[in-house]
Amino acid sequence: MLSFNFTKIPTILFGIGKVKEINTILPNYTKKILLISAPKDILNSKGKFDQLMEAIEPKTIYHETVLREPSPNSINSLVKKYKHSEIDIVVAIGGGSTIDTGKAVSAMILHDVPVEDYLEGIGTKKHDGKKIPFIAIPTTSGTGSEATKNAVLSRPGDDGFKKSLRHNNLVPDYAIIDPEFMVTCPRNVTSACGMDTFTQLLESYVSTDSNPITDALALSGMQYSIQYLIPTAIEDPENLHYREGLAYAALMSGITLANAGLGTVHGFASSIGGLFDIPHGVICGSLMAETNRLTIERLLESPSDENLKYLRKFAEVGALFENKRLSSEEQIEINCKILIDKLQEMTKKLDLKRLGEYGINKSSIDAIIEKASNKNNPIQHSEEDLRIILENRI
């Protein structure tokens, strides 16, 4: 029996030149806009940021720049600064950190409590979904935040955390996805964000909460990731066709993670991101192959009907790398191995570093495992399994 819920998605404007259409979607009453962006010198290559500013003038624009992943303090500060400015709409242009900042400010500016009160696992209150309108314009193909219902905030340190502000109504009202704004994304960012996208697609595909809609979208997104990630990051980063493919994959990953959830890789990422100042995409990319290798190994050790279902899904993704379809049950183990081999190959080609290069060592493992989780992974790994994964990636 099929039974599932599906969160709403934004109104999506996808394609080259779509940013120029922003005035067509601004509410008629819009007079004051809070624009939250990545640094202008990063965004304005080939005059793209200036094009955006021209498209939304002559509105009154307040502009804030995001330099790092959002924290509760940064959100509380922005909310306090603009709470009485009668902002009509928030527009965020940049990577996942910028979009999450805009999403959180949009969600908190109508409330009189600090954002910590609403963070999962930290606060005791549930957000009521009241916000001001929000437009997301991603400039990287990674987190899929332009289509998700949560904003991730972090406070790195020994007692740190990385937690979500979440409500179905926090999905952006509009997502404008314009590949022209992505062509100058640096190689290291393209690589890390691209592997984050693939992680989200694969984890949502094999999630215990997946459904036929998320399965179809995740497979579609993975086809584009497989085809375009390596060529974009390594061969021709200014190729708009390549960038379109990656942007589509990232969008699909946001929709699927919002509706199916994620797995052990992201359970690690939440823990590690709260303890260490490491880019989210780097964590996911570094752990992707090893985590899925051990998940598949554990599934093969207990070949129940349920486990066979997930093994078949992993094998279907392995077949995608060969541009084939899974032809028979006998091909499952072979295609699972192809998947792991390809993930390891991608990790090397994209130069995704081991965690040890960011200050993590064996003495860090207990603290990471204490806060890690398996989320919706098809195997609930033991602490010993989690330790094996980390030790193999330090």
pLDDT in tens, 176-198: 999 999 998 999 999 999 999 99
CA torsion angle 372 260 350 69 (round to 10): -60
What is the pLDDT at residue 159? 85
Distances 364 to 266, 271, 309, 391, 394 between C-alpha atoms, Å: 18, 11, 35, 10, 10
Q: What is the pLDDT of residues 118-154, one digit of tens each?
A: 999 999 999 999 999 999 999 999 899 999 999 999 9
Helices (H), 156-304: 187-205, 212-230, 240-260, 264-275, 280-301
Closest by CA position to 132, among listed 152, 112, 109: 109
Counting as low any pLDDT under 50, the low residues of the chain are none
- Secondary structure tally for the chain: helices H, strands E: 13, 8
Measured distance between the N- and C-terminal CA atoms of the chain, rounded to whole angstroms = 43
Residues 6+ apart with CB under 8 A from 116: 72, 122, 123
- The pTM score is 0.95
What's residue 48's pLDDT? 82
Query: Tokens 């959002």 label which residue?
Result: 70
Catalogue all structural domains in the chain, each as residue range(s) with its CATH number: 11-181 (3.40.50.1970), 187-393 (1.20.1090.10)
